[in-house]
Structures are given as C-alpha cells and as structure tokens.
Structure 1
C-alpha cells in the first residue's frame, strides 16, 4: 500500500514534465518522430515505426524545387550553414512528400525528422533544449502550417527561427509547408472596423513578417496538362502497367477533370486506381 502511495505521489510530482528524448540506440534505428503531448501533461517523442517510404526519384515534375531543397539539406547534413525553408503553394504538388523523401534519403547520415503540430509550437523551446545536445541533426517539420488573425502561437515560431538571446542551434532546421505564402489569412480581407490598434497596418506587417524569417522560399504551382501527363506516364512506366499510351492519356485527363485539379497527388491517385483495376 505504501509503495502504491509513493508511486502515485511521484506521478503527481512529475505532472507537466516532458519525457526524456529517445536513447541513442533508438535514434540510431529510427529516423522519424512526432513531438506530442502525453497523458500526464508533458510532451514526449513518439517514434514513427513505419514512415512513408517515399524516395526522391518518386517525385516527378518538381525538379527545380527538389534540387533547391536537397542542396540546402545536404549542406546542413554536412555541417555547413543552411536556411530554414518554407515550401508554399498549391495543394497536392509534393511539398510534404519532398520533405519526407529528403529525411529518408539522409537518414543514414544522422539526419532525423521531428514533426510538430501547429497547436504545439509554443512548446518548441522545451523541445530544443532536449535535441541541442544530441549527436544528430534535426529537421523540425511543420506540415500544412497557417495561422488565423487571432492566433498568437506564431510568435514562438518567429523567435525560434531567428533566435532570442540564444543563438540558433547548429543541429536544427525548420521546414514548413503551407498553402499560404505568408502563412497568414489574407490580410487584405480582415475586418479591422473593431480593431484596437492605432496603426493596424503595423500589426499586419508584424504578422506577415513570420514568412520572412525563412531564408529559403520554394513555390509549388499547379501542373500544366503536359506536366501532369508526364508524371502519369512516368509512374505507369515505372510500374510497367499494361495500358496503351493513348488510353492512359485519355483516362488520366478524365480523372483530372473529375477531380478538378492537376497535380502530383492527383496523378498518384489516378495511378493507384488504375493499378488496382488492372490487377
């Protein structure tokens, strides 16, 4: 009974504490993690046992973006200066897939990726105190990042991107993806009729300055019809699908028409459907 009381007391005293980072043995085996709240109020690293296996050659039609981000990542892995990166643009064009593919590509060179949700960004300083002493290089991955007018968690991210009193850790980069170039809602559409600022335009500048903290901006744009068909053809050739080129083109265009979009994601979804139908 006494032992149980002591255990309960210790659990109570540890409420709100973050769990220790993974052991070096775990970090040597697994390269992808999520930083998430746990049941006692703190945060902990959750290993991703089966990360997306996507590789760089799988990403077709975004060669320029791939080259730019890979060059930045390669410098970082090699211990040279590199920039935080913002990948912005149309949905389904390969932003998140590119980050995951780079994490896979450099995993054997001691690169680790740690996904942090937007609602947990205010905990970034606590996370950084853990990873700064680890003998690995980390990409903090913020996927589908955007903020509304009344959200303030972006302020923590701004501080981490450029550093407060402390300099930015050498073993840390932040890669974020977003459909919004400035990560914020369209500032021109905000209704400021009830605003309290004497100079609301200064508030707007303060908010959109978040994107300026990313040294590398990479835009992703909708595919043209030719680009979309080239991606479809490349996937079909890789999988050696038994379908004539003309039939493939016709079905791919019809699929895109029904989806109302042309992108790498739409191309992959079409190929998945086609592969299933062809057996």
Structure 2
C-alpha cells in the first residue's frame, strides 16, 4: 500500500496490477520551460483550481513533438506536491484499469492527476472507451480529487481519414458531422482544457539553448551556429533538441 504522504508519483504496472511508487522524479521546473508561456499559465491556473478544491478540467496537451508537453506536466508536480498534488502515470494499453486505479484513490485527501503520455488511438482501437467513462463518469460521477491529463500529437486522439467525412452534411447552414467524425471528436471534447503546442521559432530555440548553457564562457555566435546545425541534423528546433544538443556539446568539447 502506497503512503501518499511521502510518495508523490506512481506508475501503473500491468503484469503485477499494482501502482509502483516513483522514488526519484524528473526535477524539471516550470521556470525552465521557455516559449510556451500561454499554455503554461492556463495549465497552472487549472491545476491551482484543482488543488484548491474548485472545479477544474481534464486537460489535453496536443501538438508538435519536443515542445514541452510532458515536461510541463512533470514540472507541475515539482511545484505543487507540497500542496497535495500527486501524479499517477498510466500507459495507453493500461487504460482498461482506469476504473480500478480511480477506486483506489477516490477517498484519499490528496489531489491526483492521472497522466498518459503520447496518447492516441488507431482505427478499431477500443481502449478509449473506458477513458470516456473516467472523464465524465457513468452512473457514478468522477471523484473530485482526480483529473486526467494527457499529451498527444493528435488534436482528436483518433486518426481522421477522408472517407470519414463522406456522410457529413450541411443542413440549414449548420454542419452535421458523420457518426464516425462525431465519435472521434467526442473523445477530445471530454477534455475541457485543450492546449495546442506549435513548432518553436529559431529565436525561442536559441533561448532554450542559452538556458542550458548559462555558464558558457565562449563565443555565443559559435555556440548558436553549432546548435542550429544540430537542429537541422535532427529535423527539429525545440526544447528536446536543445537538451540533446547540450548533452552532445558537453561530451565533445
């Protein structure tokens, strides 16, 4: 049995069907996350309402890879764990066990975010159905001390194909979506807070690089050129690439 007074995070392990306490969490802080100020402030406000006992929304952080979506959720834990925030990480294939996980924590005094990273579903995938029940409840409403935060590259979580739109009609000036489209949109609609993350421009990427090299005493122009070359090789100017460049540059210089 987990002592949530001293444990701040846990990961669901399917084979043993139990929550494994996390002994050491990622130390990322909110102030380290650059270029996503609007998304950061909206998620902070939602989380503060949640831990304050006020109404708050489940959150979907979607968009470009490497832009800080998962880091933002981890940083929330480091900021608010002393105020009772806890995080339980669940893989997509373990969504079937959401009801059991929620039952285990619903009566506890802490505030829990159930977190799923890189969430998306394929055609014919039915794992999203238990998630719907947890997000909005069934005959029993969701507990007040549980929210669901997810990150994804997809806005609607389910793949969209051209043929899905064939039965969509325009009637009296209003769009009536096909049943397939309605089913796919209905899942993301259950997230009351949907935050978009876009590819970061070059100046923001270089600002992130500079934050990693705060004590760098060399030529910043040379550093920036190396950082841009690294980004071009890795096909992405984002926070993840900046961190990888920092690791690589330290190893080779």
Q: Same fold (TM over 0.5)?
A: yes
For the pair 1:247 / 2:227, whether they are aligned, the reply is no
Q: Is the 8 A contact 1:95 1:220 kept in 2?
A: yes
How far the C-alpha of 1:191 sits from its partner, in A, is: 11
Matched residue of 2:178: which SS?
helix
Matched residue of 2:76: which SS?
helix
Backbone CA RMSD of aligned residues? 1.8
Q: Is the 8 A contact 1:158 1:213 kept in 2?
A: yes
Residue of structure 1 in register with 2:239 after alignment: 264
Residue of structure 2 in register with 1:231 after alignment: 208
How far the C-alpha of 1:97 sits from its partner, in A, is: 0.5
Residue of structure 2 in register with 1:201 after alignment: 178
Residue of structure 2 in register with 1:179 after alignment: 153
Structure (1 or 2) with the greater helix fraction: 1
Q: Deviations over 1:79-134 (max 9, x none)?
A: 11110000000111100010011011111111110011111111111111110011
5 Å-filtered alignment, 1:148-159, equals 148-159=122-133
5 Å-filtered alignment, 1:21-100, equals 21-22=1-2, 26-39=3-16, 43-100=17-74
Q: What is the distance in 1 between the residues matched to 2:247 and 2:31?
A: 17
Q: Is the 8 A contact 2:164 2:178 kept in 1?
A: no
How far the C-alpha of 1:164 sits from its partner, in A, is: 1.0
Which 10-residue stretch deviates more, 28-37 or 171-180? 28-37
Residue of structure 1 in register with 2:187 after alignment: 210
Greater gyration radius? 1
| TM-score normalised by length of structure 1 | 0.83
Structure 1 residue ranges without an equivalent (≥5): 1-20, 193-199
Over 2 Å off, 4+ runs:
186-192, 275-278
Matched residue of 1:150: which SS?
coil
Matched residue of 2:5: which SS?
helix
Structure 2 residue ranges without an equivalent (≥5): 167-176
How many residue pairs end up in the alignment?
A: 244
